[in-house]
A and B are shown apart, each in its own frame.
Chain A
Amino acid sequence: MSALEFDAVSVRYGKLTAVDGVSLTVPAGQVVGLVGESGSGKSTLARAAAGLAPVSAGRVLLNGADVRRLPRRRPLQMVFQDPYSSLDPRMAVGESIAEAMPPGTSRAGRRAEVARLLELVNLDPDRAAALPGRLSGGQRQRVALARALAGQPKVLIADEITSALDVSVQGAVLNLVREVQRRLSLSMLFISHNLAVVRYVSDVVAVMYLGRIVEAGPAAQVLTDPKHPYTRDLLAAAPSARRNLLDDASDDPLADTEPADPHHPPAGCRYHPRCPIGPLVHPDRTVCVTADPAGDAAGRPHSAACHFAATHPTRRSA
């Protein structure tokens, strides 16, 4: 049984299709990492699951039930990117946490639960009375996690939860999220633009480009043997202290291409104007311009949305 399932979900804002027919399953008790550049639709997909963005086509299923038919309190919670805007500056953190608890708990029960949750996220329970302004970014993100857990979720969505934090704090938050996810066997959709962070946390990795999922599969396979050229580009561009910037592909003709405009997605394969194995490099590959590879993606390895997914077996040297 799957915990969270996106079934051909589309989200449209006016003429902009932010998410275009995405199907993705977050299996129970597993972490699915979603990577992609800003504007690729990852956050919109998360907000659609949480009921914050309108689903214009398809369904989001939570344990098999359409989330739109679920009651107001759902077993799904979310932690947001910016801990400075996700906590009410006028409300003590304990109150914020208690607010997310299911109704019917006594006042003493709530207080005890707040203390337990704060300890769970490695914060002093005495902090319950503090306003968010007294806490650092990392501490706020812990409070945000405690609030999400107060709703007793089965599914947790983590939307870029470390990108507003310093590296020294990022590690502590990631360790905590991983530990909590394992201890409570939560299903988690972990969204980040940082491939290294996604790799560390996730069991399954899905790569999103211009509103579509272009590749998805077990984390180890997708990251060591990527099938879609976009995934390969992401891996190559990840900053690393151990690789020189100018070493590889110093005069690649595609090095300066611009990301496509989501308002006018390219025809055929959406990645073809930037693709190093596409029609710009191999002029005979006209199929990339004319046919959308998303249609028969399910039959390819890693469900890759690429006509030539199988023909480029490039293995990343570990």
Chain B
Amino acid sequence: MARRGTWAAAVRTPVGACSAVLLALVVLLAAMAPLLWGAAAAAVDTDAIGQGPSGAHPFGTDSLGRDLLLRTLVATRLSVGLAVLATAIGAGTGVVLGTLPSVLPRRVGRLLTAVVDIAVAFPGLLLALFLAVIFGVGTQGAVLAIGFATAPAFARLVQTLSASVSGRDFVAAARIAGVGRIRLLARHVLPNIGEPLVVNATIGAGSALLAFAGLSFLGIGVQAPDYDWGRLLREGLDGIYVTPVAALAPAAAVVLAGLAFNLVGETVAAVVGVRTRLTRVAAPASPAARPAVPEAPADAVLVVENLRVAFPGPAGWTVPVRGVSFSVRAGEAIGVVGESGSGKSLTALAVSRLVEGPGVVTADRLEFAGKPLAEASDRELGTALAMVFQDPMTSFNPARRVGGQLAEVSERHHGLSRRQAFARAVDRLAAVRVPAAERRARQYPHEFSGGMRQRAMIGMGLMGRPKLIVADEPTTALDVTVQRQVLRLLARTREAEGAAVLLISHDIAVVSQTCERMLVMYAGRIVEDLPAGSPARHPYTRALLATTVDLDTDRDRPLEVIPGRPPEPDQVPEGCAFAARCPLASDRCRTEDPVLEATDRRGHRVACWHPQVTVLSGQSHEEGAA
């Protein structure tokens, strides 16, 4: 169903519409033209030999007086048909050559791979010419020649794609289940590489068409009395100065048909997800009016009011962040917890101005260091806001030394000389306790372990004087011992630099160990703003705490679970989003959306119609973390 909708949407785009029209035209001509005009195009008219364009013959006639317009149209079937046939041969041979190495004994497989590698090194047309001579002049020889000439490229593509599929766990699982090699290939590997193959074959058909025209043009393709565009082009070229249209008509046909194949390939690629989406929708609906939020404290570094992040989808806008309001005071450590899809990472990206199009960020107020975030210059943000990501391998440039990447911040934003900047980078690396900072600064990111990379990332944030460090799952990819090091480093950095920390984590234990306040997010909203030491009051927060497994969990009882799953961002129900999973939900919860309201003077806020008051067992120790 969804697929059908995507195809319809794809055809409505300019590229999709063009490709659909062109393809329909080519297919229609290939099917109908020989039936309608086949005889007329072959009729010799000795009274009209080599004429220019006229009313009777819009594109003129050839040396036997045959109508060139009709001949060009009729030649569609042979030209396109042969190109498609050659592509089918090429793709078919390629699939066999590409998959055989994984089925054959290892040595034979390697030999075959080597042969394909060598064949790929030759230009396709050269190979086609070579093969055309071997297979003999004529239509059959040319089809085989072009088919086999394109086969190595397909074989290589199949090899690469199936290697990446074979590395995935479902293939390993099938192997453990005892599935044989051939069945593995047929059931698991080939279906999962089909889409890119089809896309490439479609585009390949365009090239085959061109190659075929080339061979016929050279006289080693289609032979008289048959004719395709290549032959027409060759015949027309003799008289190009007398009647240019005789050569231009078949040339234009080749271009149009080639274009049709390529555009169809592009459209297919867009629909099957090889390229980016094509959807286009109107601007997101204006945010619903939300009640006023408490006055932001005077020393707030970050003020967020009614923040919404929306993404266009096939069926209108989805809003993964639906009106989030909070503020971060100078030097404060705030944790954001929630399940995947709760909108916590998007909130972090939005306050760092890193949400990229087509995502749209709106807010009643979004201020950093007393200024609207949208107006802050890159330089201000670059020095006052530091960002630490989950995977520092992807946030460092792998081809540049770590020290140089840190130094760049100061070169660009502080106007330091290269040497001064590098010295500062070494100093900052030492500050984040990277051992032998001077030496490590000259190393590349891959020479750092995960924990050290994360330190260097924090060090990069410290090249300026950050007022806020946004850390998005900074320790999720790390081991517990290294996690503790990085969390301690964040805490010390906060102390030493007076920077506030916004720590996003799925791990409620990590957050309660490090933060003074915890924002609990669910389905794009903050459901509880919980100061450390206060007992949780929202049923979701309490359920999250209860499901956490730690070293004191009772082994003899089943673990606590939260039944159900969070709503999809495009299907958030009316009323409280958690109602469907909540043991305390009443009719009011299912119809009225609870508002995040303060419950005490410490700033504890809860969005729930039935907030709980009893202290959870085990929570009393939390005071120690406050």
Contacts and interface: CB of A to CB of B under 8 A. Distances in A.
Interface residues of B, number: 65
Contacts of B172: 47, 50, 52, 78, 80, 86
A108 interface: no
B558 interface: yes
A93 to B, nearest CB: 11
Contact of B178 (A74, A148, A195, A241): A74
B551 A245 contact: no
B550 interface: yes
Given A80-B173, A91-B188, A259 B449 contact: yes
Contacts of A244: 513, 624-625
A171 B559 contact: yes
Interface string A189-227: 000011111011000000000000000000000010000
A200 B549 contact: yes
Nearest to B174: A99
Contacts of B621: 241-242
Interface string A24-60: 0000000000000110000000010011100000000
Contacts of B552: 240, 242, 318
Contacts of B414: none
B514 interface: yes
B561 A172 contact: yes
Interface in A70-106: 71-74, 76-78, 80-82, 85-91, 96, 99-100
A126 interface: no
B513 A240 contact: yes
B25 interface: no
A91 B479 CA distance: 34
A7 B78 CA distance: 67
Interface in A234-262: 234-247, 250, 255-259, 261
B481 A171 contact: no
Given A166-B340, A245-B491, A259-B451, A239 B168 contact: no
B548 A86 contact: no
A147 interface: yes
A156 B450 CA distance: 31
Nearest to B183: A99
Nearest to A71: B178
A234 B484 CA distance: 10
A151 interface: yes
A175 interface: yes
Contacts of A151: 176-178
A51 B176 contact: yes
A91 B187 contact: yes
A87 B170 CA distance: 5
B170 A85 contact: yes
Given A37-B481, A88-B170, A234-B481, A256 B435 contact: yes
A233 interface: yes
B549 A197 contact: yes
B550 A245 contact: no
A169 B340 CA distance: 11
A290 interface: no
Contacts of B170: 85-88, 96
B176 A76 contact: yes
A174 interface: yes
18 contacts: A47-B172, A52-B172, A52-B175, A82-B169, A88-B187, A91-B191, A100-B178, A151-B176, A167-B544, A168-B547, A172-B561, A234-B481, A235-B551, A237-B484, A241-B550, A241-B621, A242-B624, A245-B491
Interface of A: 37-38, 47, 50-52, 71-74, 76-78, 80-82, 85-91, 96, 99-100, 136-138, 144, 147-148, 150-151, 166-172, 174-175, 178-179, 193-197, 199-200, 223, 233-247, 250, 255-259, 261, 318
